[in-house]
Amino acid sequence: MGETRDQSTLRPDIILVSEATRQLILLELTVPWEERMEEAQERKREKYQELVEQCRINGWRTRCMPVEVGSRGFASHTLSKAYGTLGITGVNRRRAISNNVEAVEKASRWLWLKRGERWGR
């Protein structure tokens, strides 16, 4: 990512990079219980704050965008906002949100069904 070799142990789910405009968008998906969405967003924002600041010091316009989809399929406003920032609008945004919600519901259901099984070896 440029001239410096700063490193971090943090690994956002998605990092969008524009070398031409020196912009970074860090996307971090969280699947909390619906009643803990705000808390999850604050926790993720705090987790990446130092990394965002370091990227800015190194000359990158940087945004951290925590995105929450509740474990029972409720999409937080942050998901729609993230798609808007990326230029995804109208029917494409609605379809993308629907696909995200469906994927979270399926994964949550699978985890629930497997909850009694032993994980690992």
Residue 25 pairs with which residues in a beta bridge?
Answer: 16, 63
Distance from CA of residue 60 to its chain's centroid? 19
- The one-letter amino acid code at 102 reads E
pLDDT score of 5: 54
In 1-121, which ranges are continuous DSSP H helix?
37-57, 77-85, 90-113
3-state secondary structure of 23: strand
pLDDT score of 7: 74
Can you give the pTM of this predicted structure? Answer: 0.77
pLDDT along the chain (121 residues), means of 10: 64 95 95 86 94 96 94 90 96 96 91 87 67
Residue pair 24/55 in contact (Cβ under 8 Å)? The answer is yes
Tell me which residue has tokens 């316009």.
Answer: 61
